[in-house]
Amino acid sequence: MDTPNMDSLHSTQHGSHELDPDSSETTQMTFEVPQGQHTEVRLDVYITGFVQNATRSKVQQAIKDGYVKVNQKGEKSSYIVQAGDVIDIDLPKPPPKEAQPEQMDLDIRYEDDDLLVVLKPAGMVVHPAFGNWEGTLVNGLLYHTGGKDGLPQQDHDTIRPGIVHRLDKDTSGLLVVAKHDHALSELSKQFAEKTAARTYQALVWGTPEPDEGTYLGAIGRSKHDRKVMAVVGENDDPGYGKPAITHYRVVKAYPTVSLVEYRLETGRTHQIRVHAAHHNHPVFHDPVYGGDRVRYGINTGATKHLFQRCFDACPTQALHAKTLGFTHPSSGDWMEFDSDLPQEFQDVLSFLDAHYAI
């Protein structure tokens, strides 16, 4: 088997060629396999040979996660590289070794020696990740609890200390955070065994029918865009995706949108947003799943003006984790918390009430 001829490759790069675990750069490269070069090499092997410090396992994961394209298409690691192939690589920079404390104004609704309950605003990332190493909820929690020793690590994960469950960046709402290992273990067990209770409220396009029901459908990475999730199709391989169950109830219906309550039995990535969009009721102003454009009703005259006012008032997806319930890990008491909808969410509902005179 021939190895790639590095001197004959045409490439453009941004950042380093090396996959340095301590580097803050993003490795971005585009290169074309020269004509006439006899490769017979798998895609993962070819890239590993080209990028210094890249291990084959990391390259395989990058290919699986959609960070590698061949001729603008996703391919498997086993793809045999052909002369003339254009390979695009966009590998995210690695996370820092551990999250750093940052002083910030957190909306803490309850706190004791075991845990705290915090109301996360829309727009805040829960824990550090690619593109968001600072300003996350974890950074603020570390400062609040006295630094890196103030929160327990989950499986030696220094990026998500104390985090029992999470919310998407643009989803607001209640979160419980553990302050020591026993609390983390007990609370995590409740979420895994579905004994914790969570309800969300969302403004969605249209009105689900019937007014109350359950969405079933496994959720996995989209075959078309690895950065988003999708309900698994009937023709997908068995075992692809994870089972997801979402119960819903229409709280208030308008001619074009509805306020809907959701209760989760499972906690898949983007679960409510994916299930709602799959049933043609995407969350209002959700740009990822089609909620950032008018989906029901006419979009002219006074109604067009209404929609624009609503979009302006609520710059992120209208999804809020409203209630949270769990058994206290030390006392064994059942604890319940409720929260008001964010002001921007309430403003949209006021606009709708006034326009439709409900």
Residues 6+ apart with CB under 8 A from 36: 83
* Residue in 285, 267, 294, 293 with CA at minimum distance from that of residue 342: 285
The CA distance from 204 to 215, in Å, is 15
Q: Give me the pLDDT at residue 45, please.
A: 86
DSSP 77: T
Q: Give me the pLDDT at residue 272, please.
A: 97
pLDDT at 85 over 80: yes
Question: What are the E-state strand segments in the chain?
Answer: 10-14, 27-32, 68-70, 86-91, 107-111, 115-120, 172-178, 197-205, 212-216, 219-221, 229-231, 245-253, 257-264, 319-327, 334-338
Q: Give me the pLDDT at residue 35, please.
A: 72
* Residue in 157, 154, 153 with CA at minimum distance from that of residue 97: 157
Query: Residue 115: which pLDDT band, with cuts at 50, 70 and 90?
Result: very high
Secondary structure (H, E, C), 300-322: CHHHHHHHHHHHHHCCCCCEEEE
Write down all domains in the chain, each with its CATH number in brackets: 6-91 (3.10.290.10), 107-193 (3.30.2350.10), 198-356 (3.30.2350.10)
- Bridge partners (DSSP) of residue 116 are 111, 177
168 is catalytic: yes
Q: Give me the pLDDT at residue 72, please.
A: 87
SS3 at position 216: strand
Q: Percent of the chain beyond pLDDT 70? A: 82
- Condensed to tens digits (0 to 9), the pLDDT of residues 165-174 reads 989 999 999 9
The one-letter amino acid at 297: G
The CA distance from 188 to 141, in Å, is 18
Q: Which of 22, 88, 157, 168 is catalytic?
A: 168
pLDDT at 20 over 50: no
Rg of the chain over Cα atoms, rounded to whole angstroms, equals 23
The one-letter amino acid at 151: L
Query: Residue 24: which pLDDT band, with cuts at 50, 70 and 90?
Result: very low
Q: 150 with 158: CB under 8 angstroms?
A: no
Q: Extract the tokens encoding 185.
A: 């273990």
Q: Extract the tokens encoding 348.
A: 């949209």
- Condensed to tens digits (0 to 9), the pLDDT of residues 309-355 reads 999 999 999 999 999 999 999 999 999 999 999 999 999 999 999 99
Tell me what the pLDDT averaged over the chain comes to: 85
Rounded to two decimals, the pTM is 0.74
SS3 at position 189: helix
